[in-house]
Amino acid sequence: MTPTASLPVVALISGRGSNLAAILSDAQQADSPYQLAAVISNRPDAQGLKLAQAAGVATAVLDHRAFPDRDHFDQALQTLIDGYQPGLVVLAGFMRLLTPAFVCHYQGRLLNIHPSLLPQFRGLHTHAQALAAGVQEHGASVHFVVPELDAGPVVLQAKVPVCRDDTPESLAARVLVQEHRIYPQAIRWFATGRLRLTAGQAYLDNAPLQQPV
């Protein structure tokens, strides 16, 4: 892709927006190569909408409950997103499974952050899964989104140790700190043209990523 001085980014959220807050803060830095064009939520009561509005970012709500099925919702969501002409769409706690047609429309410009060291512990309740499995390391992964859940190429990870007395909540809090660090970094890489997805392969600085950074 061609680097741009200010890549327009649309963020999708469903809840409190803690990753969104980190992205908003990074986008406001003087050297940021991207800007948040809009924040869209499928839940009218999502706290992240207030964060975006306080930062002067456009917001929109598209309540999934108003649609008969996933396909109709995703079609309307796609239309809404495209109205902002984003160069990148980021999932920041967006708690909806996306249809293959939606994912393919944004192929190569759709990122997600997942609270595990993928390919370990896909899906929900990752911190409880990690504790049940008895792993010594846990963490977070930024990956390109593909139709299969949490299966896209992973570009950046951060690890944290799992402590003997951890609960899912204490482990989640430690992982969240790392999520806030690595998600803006990956967005910056994309916005400056360093990160791309071509034919299912992630590239960083024109070199194929054989494993996550």
Report the catalytic residues. Answer: 114
Among 24, 33, 13, 171, smallest CA distance to 92 is for 13
- Measure the CA–CA gap between 44 and 124, rounded to whole angstroms: 22
Please tell me whether residue 123 adopts helix, strand or coil conformation.
coil
Q: Whose structure tokens read 């839940």?
A: 43
- Measure the CA–CA gap between 11 and 31, rounded to whole angstroms: 20
Query: How many C-beta atoms lie closer than 10 Å to residue 92's C-beta?
Result: 25
- Measure the CA–CA gap between 57 and 128, rounded to whole angstroms: 34
